[in-house]
A and B are shown apart, each in its own frame.
Chain A
């Protein structure tokens, strides 16, 4: 909690996520519209996938930011010396990233609804799937963020590591959103379960692995 508070406080003061990452998510929404030639039916049909693709791309930036904060002034050493448990630091950093992602998802979601002409349905599924997917994404990103921490090519390495690993989340989130918007929320629940299972597994793995990794880097 302390670590999450710290990261969110930095964010509140610097507003990098708000002023750079969220607008980035917005511009990706526009890019997809150009790529698909503003075909309304196509856009509204592909909306769930495009939404999550935009979130995924913006997430890469959020992860980069979350660990750039630790690189500056050797703050990472400060974290290590703080006496906090490695698992707790992991949970804190992941929670901060998740909070930023949720804000991003709301903004990008509004943009998608307005621009791609989507009718929102199945709110319960959307919220559950959204939260489970966000936790999975934030946790995976945080694990790989520290894995690549302090290395030379960190900025380019993280996307390569994270994107293939979160493909199940991308699939599950897209499919459950699709089912909800199609008015068949029953089809979405297996996917939501997959998202929850993924999130639980990666959070557990991260909690165990984070301490040693932070020590090393």
Chain B
């Protein structure tokens, strides 16, 4: 089987897993009173998004590190870091939106200055900045080092941000309005659905990163080919110039 067939199969499996998650999340699992009745179903979207986002940023940092170590340096890691960060930002955004939708009926507010929420929002902007840095039109070699270092600084900044925000909340708003306890006596079907959702979203993440990575490789290749083309053209032109005076 070719790589392409494998990829199609993987996509099919991902879609099946996502479909199964939707069925379980929407019809099989029970509504929960303390989690906003029917709104609890949003958690099957929210939790896997959060997982995928952290996974994606972790992989971005890891790939950036591999790029920086001279022995493992290759353009692959740079492109992988970029692809992963892009998917991660999308899922972070989705997580914030879905969380907000869930919070409104459950907590009675769209947003709460809770440590986890605030950290996530800052995380979102940190990686938006990273993506913006990637898009500034520098050459691949220039981009690699800047982006790898930026990714590592962003990754190191996240725990500090989280720490300071947690501190801020504990020092200044003792006992916030809510205390999300996702592990309240969870129903069997709910736990299964959550695991299924996380698995399905991880597959989706893998597929999206793969697609994005291949696209990035093609983009790089295009520049290379254009350069080769231009050089060949130039050589031909110079040759014909030499021929004419002779």
Contacts and interface: CB of A to CB of B under 8 A. Distances in A.
The answer to whether A and B assemble together is: yes
A194 interface: yes
B126 interface: yes
A164 B132 contact: no
Interface string A152-164: 1100010011011
Interface in B197-215: none
Interface in A173-217: 175, 187, 190-191, 194, 198, 201, 205, 209, 212-213, 216-217
Contacts of B149: 147, 209, 212-213
A27 to B, nearest CB: 25
A87 interface: no
Interface in A75-124: none
B93 to A, nearest CB: 15
CB-based closest 6 A-B pairs: A168-B164, A164-B125, A151-B136, A161-B129, A160-B129, A164-B126
Given A163-B125, A164-B129, A205-B156, A152 B136 contact: yes
A148 interface: yes
Nearest to A205: B153
Interface in B147-165: 149-150, 153-154, 156-157, 160-161, 163-165
Interface residues of A, number: 30
Contacts of B75: none
A216 B68 CA distance: 13
Interface of A: 143-144, 147-148, 151-153, 157, 160-161, 163-165, 167-168, 171-172, 175, 187, 190-191, 194, 198, 201, 205, 209, 212-213, 216-217
Interface stretch (B13-21, B34-42, B167-175, B224-232): B167-175
B183 interface: no
Among A172, A205, A209, residue most surrounded by chain B Cβ atoms (within 10 Å):
A209
B128 interface: yes
B33 interface: no
B137 A151 contact: yes
Given A160-B128, A165-B157, A213-B145, A172 B164 contact: yes
B234 interface: no
Nearest to A158: B129
6 contacts: A143-B153, A161-B129, A168-B160, A171-B164, A175-B168, A216-B145
Contacts of B145: 212-213, 216
Given A151-B138, A216-B145, A161 B133 contact: yes
